[in-house]
């Protein structure tokens, strides 16, 4: 049986001091956490771009302070006020406002709303669940929405921007497994071997890419998964082939989009918003079942998640991620699987 929650435990909390944020590792109690029906001993978490923004103070992520950061976690249920979860159950949590509105996964224990909890599907370990995490769930949500919008391999290759990041890395693997040709558009020329191993068929140097400026440019891509926004997303809209879809996921380049309606009304291009924080619970459960089965990325623990770090190293890795120096996924280990 799970051991009781200790009187104090370790957590990385974000404080606001004179309109600036500061990340601190400190000892807290269960009563310090936001309300929730399920208490979990956290075994693993992971570092996403949103976490890096929160920890470094480069983005306003938290809704109230102090707050435990970390939008992902996997672990073992300690106690539950709902019959769906019992002590000893292995579970995962991604998104659902955890690490933003509610205290998150960068702590040895978490207390979260029951609706945020997903039973660990057969076929996934706690470590693999965090190797996938919000990044992989988001990539899988993009694949699901694009398939539902009639994206097929015969339309042409899928362009993936930001392909060395967590979402981009897993998107390459997922779309390749689904039968698509994949082109990785990257500004990191040294990443070719990594991207090829993930399954990229073509590596495109973003620094030499002629983006053009006309409302429509030569149609090149069957569809796209975009992590950048800004000028890159506008370029994709101008160059996706008729009836192709673009899954818009991130804004690492810019939140601004300057384009025309021409690609949408003359080529039937679809711009699909990919929002992984909330959404129907049935979607979340179904997607995690697929990620544990026929959508499970190949070489997950060795390729996507080569780095497992203690909580103390999170601020350093968060700075690297914001600076564009991180590759793939980084896992944070909070306790032993037991």
User: Rounded to two decimals, what is the model's pTM?
Assistant: 0.93
User: What confidence score (pLDDT) does residue 305 get?
Assistant: 60
In a domain, 210, yes or no: yes
In a domain, 165, yes or no: yes
> Do residues 250 and 164 make contact, with C-beta atoms less than 8 angstroms apart?
no
Tell me the average confidence (pLDDT) per consecutive run of 10 residues in the chain, 338 residues long.
85 91 94 97 95 90 92 97 96 95 97 97 95 95 97 98 92 96 93 91 92 93 97 97 97 93 97 94 96 88 75 94 84 91
CB atoms within 10 A of CB 337: 14
Q: What SS3 class is residue 234?
A: helix
Burial (0-12, 13-18, 19+ Cβ within 10 Å), 5 = middle
107 and 142 inside one domain: no
User: What confidence score (pLDDT) does residue 91 get?
Assistant: 98
In a domain, 250, yes or no: yes
102 and 147 inside one domain: no
Domain boundary among 273, 290, 319: 273
Range(s) of the domain holding residue 198: 136-273
Domain boundary among 253, 273, 293: 273
111 and 218 inside one domain: no
User: What confidence score (pLDDT) does residue 296 get?
Assistant: 93
DSSP letter string over 264-293?
A: HHHS--EEEE---SS--HHHHHHHHHHHTT
241 and 205 inside one domain: yes
In a domain, 188, yes or no: yes
User: What confidence score (pLDDT) does residue 304 get?
Assistant: 66
CB atoms within 10 A of CB 81: 10
Q: Which pair of tokens denotes residue 290?
A: 């697929």
Strand partners, 79: 39
143 and 263 inside one domain: yes
What is the domain-level CATH number for residue 158? 3.40.50.720
81 and 178 inside one domain: no
CB atoms within 10 A of CB 63: 10
User: What confidence score (pLDDT) does residue 18 get?
Assistant: 84
In a domain, 300, yes or no: no
178 and 262 inside one domain: yes
In a domain, 115, yes or no: yes
44 and 159 inside one domain: no
190 and 313 inside one domain: no
Sequence-distant (6+) residues with CB within 8 A of 152 are none
User: What confidence score (pLDDT) does residue 62 get?
Assistant: 86
Q: How far apart are CA 142 and CA 151, in angstroms?
A: 11
In a domain, 158, yes or no: yes
249 and 152 inside one domain: yes
In a domain, 2, yes or no: no
Q: Which pair of tokens denotes residue 188?
A: 């990191």
Domain boundary among 229, 252, 273: 273
What's the domain count of the chain? Answer: 2
DSSP letter string over 127-196?
A: HHHHHHHHHHHHHHHHHHHHHHTT--GGG-PEEEESTTSHHHHHHHHHHHHTT--EEEEES-GGGHHHHH
- For 11, 145, 249, 286, 304, the CA distances from 289, given in Å and listed in that order, are 30, 16, 21, 5, 19
75 and 171 inside one domain: no
- For 233, 250, 275, the CA distances from 26, given in Å and listed in that order, are 40, 31, 32
Q: What SS3 class is residue 18?
A: coil
User: What confidence score (pLDDT) does residue 303 get?
Assistant: 65
173 and 63 inside one domain: no
User: What confidence score (pLDDT) does residue 131 get?
Assistant: 93
Sequence-distant (6+) residues with CB within 8 A of 165 are 49, 135, 227, 252, 326, 327
What is the domain-level CATH number for residue 21? 3.90.180.10
């Amino acid at each position: 049986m799970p051991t009781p929650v200790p009187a104090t435990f370790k957590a990385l909390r974000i404080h606001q001091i004179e309109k600036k944020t500061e990340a601190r590792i400190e000892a807290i109690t269960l009563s310090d956490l936001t309300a929730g029906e399920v208490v979990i001993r956290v075994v693993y978490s992971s570092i996403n771009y949103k976490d890096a923004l929160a920890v470094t103070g480069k983005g306003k992520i938290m809704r109230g302070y102090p707050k435990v950061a970390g939008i992902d976690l996997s672990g073992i249920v300690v106690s539950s006020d709902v019959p769906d979860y019992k002590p000893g159950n292995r579970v995962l949590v991604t998104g659902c406002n955890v690490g933003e509105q509610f205290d998150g996964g960068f702590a040895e224990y978490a207390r979260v709303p029951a609706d945020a909890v997903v039973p660990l599907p057969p076929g996934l370990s706690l470590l693999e669940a965090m190797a996938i995490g919000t990044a992989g769930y988001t990539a899988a949500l993009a694949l699901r929405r694009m398939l539902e919008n009639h994206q097929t391999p015969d339309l042409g290759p899928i362009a993936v921007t930001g392909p060395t990041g967590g979402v981009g890395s897993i998107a390459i693997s997922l779309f390749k497994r689904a039968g698509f040709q994949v082109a990785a558009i990257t500004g990191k020329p040294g990443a070719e071997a990594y991207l090829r191993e993930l399954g990229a068929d073509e590596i495109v140097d973003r620094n030499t890419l002629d983006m053009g400026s006309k409302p429509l440019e030569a149609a090149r891509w069957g569809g796209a998964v975009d992590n950048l926004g800004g000028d890159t997303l506008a370029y994709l809209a101008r160059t996706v082939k008729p009836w192709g879809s673009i899954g818009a996921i991130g804004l690492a380049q810019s939140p601004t989009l300057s384009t025309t309606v021409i690609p949408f009304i003359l080529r039937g291009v679809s711009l699909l918003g990919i929002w992984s924080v909330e959404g129907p619970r049935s979607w979340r459960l179904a997607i995690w079942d697929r990620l544990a089965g026929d959508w499970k990325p190949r070489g997950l623990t060795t390729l996507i998640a080569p780095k497992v770090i203690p909580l103390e190293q999170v601020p350093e890795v968060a700075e690297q991620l914001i600076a564009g120096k991180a590759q793939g996924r980084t896992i944070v280990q909070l306790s032993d699987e037991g």
